[in-house]
Amino acid sequence: MNSSKILIVDNDVNISNTLTQMIEREGFKSYVAVDGTNALKLLHTECPDVLLLDLDLSGINAMNLLAQIKSIDSDLIDDAILRPGRFDEIIEVPLPDEQDRLEILNIYLKDRPKVAHLNINDLANKTKNLSGAELESICQKASLLAIRRVIIGQQTNMNLTPCITMEDIDKALKAIKLPGISGHDVLKKIKSTDIVRRIPVIMLTSSAQEGDRILAYDYGVNSYIVKPLTFESFLTVCQTLKEYWISINVGPPKN
């Protein structure tokens, strides 16, 4: 058993279990936190060598909160936040209606393997009040759930194809609605705490948004990786992470 320890922070239990299996198969010790609060506790008690952090921990960050408040009542925002000079221009973008959601989902699901009877119209109806970014996240999480089934199937000698099912969609939909601390919040806390701030943090996330990436690097992330869509690419990413961050990279001293 390798002495290196890896902390996985992901609120999607299926994804964290998949990563755990891959990591422990290589002889490393792994720990899992499903939310930011538990992640911060494990950082102090276990002192991992590497942290794999999902940005989308189902928490609500400041910009999402601002967007939700704006969609309810713009008068609730403090005038000091919106005074001239802070923003060049404020443009209110309404949340997509059902037809818009259907078009967005069709775009994000177009090139992903899925079962023939996947009811995208029903999904568009279920996702009222969700943004385009959240719809993208649902599609990404559902793809990863399908990939996990293939990994499990390989272990039992089953020949499976990672096709998205409605069950995958429903699990992904539930995952984004759970309360918690966002990945950005966890990262900011880590980098401001002396005892754990030197631990390498790899953000392994479904978000390809430029703003999320910029904020992550502003907070001190060491690497930002968007979760791949295919089974083969997912395995390649995990193998590369192991080879570089555990086998090649020389981490900070423990004390």
* Structural domain boundaries enclosing 149: 93-177
pLDDT at 224: 92
CA distance 175 to 13: 9
For residue 124, the Cα-to-chain-centroid distance in whole angstroms is 21
CATH of residue 53: 3.40.50.2300
For residue 231, being part of any structural domain is answered with yes
Are residues 169 and 190 located together in one domain of the fold? Answer: no
Q: Is the pLDDT of residue 223 over 50?
A: yes
pLDDT at 71: 44
15-55 tens-digit pLDDT: 777 788 878 887 888 888 877 677 777 877 887 888 887 76
For residue 75, being part of any structural domain is answered with no
Number of structural domains in the chain: 2
Are residues 153 and 199 located together in one domain of the fold? Answer: no
Average pLDDT, the chain: 75
For residue 83, being part of any structural domain is answered with no
For residue 184, being part of any structural domain is answered with yes
The residue among 239, 126, 220, 111 whose CA lies nearest residue 172 is 126
pLDDT at 102: 92
Alpha carbons within 13 angstroms on the beta-carbon side of residue 77 total 18
Q: Which of 177, 197, 219 is the last residue before a domain boundary?
A: 177
198-211 tens-digit pLDDT: 888 888 887 777 87
The three-class DSSP label of residue 57 is coil
Q: Could you tell me how many residues make up the chain? A: 255
Q: Which of 177, 192, 222 is the last residue before a domain boundary?
A: 177
First to last CA, the chain: 22
CA distance 35 to 38: 6
Are residues 164 and 231 located together in one domain of the fold? Answer: no
Q: Is the pLDDT of residue 66 over 50?
A: no
- pTM, 2 dp: 0.51
Are residues 250 and 185 located together in one domain of the fold? Answer: yes
Q: Which of 125, 152, 177 is the last residue before a domain boundary?
A: 177
For residue 68, being part of any structural domain is answered with no
Average pLDDT on 83-90 reads: 53
- Backbone CA torsion sign across 166, 115, 140, 111: negative
Q: Is the pLDDT of residue 139 over 60?
A: yes
Task: Classify residue 167 as left (phi > 0), alpha (psi -120 to 50) or beta.
Answer: alpha
For residue 85, being part of any structural domain is answered with no
Q: Which residues pair with 30 in a beta bridge?
A: 6
For residue 79, being part of any structural domain is answered with no
CA distance 12 to 175: 7
Are residues 99 and 169 located together in one domain of the fold? Answer: yes
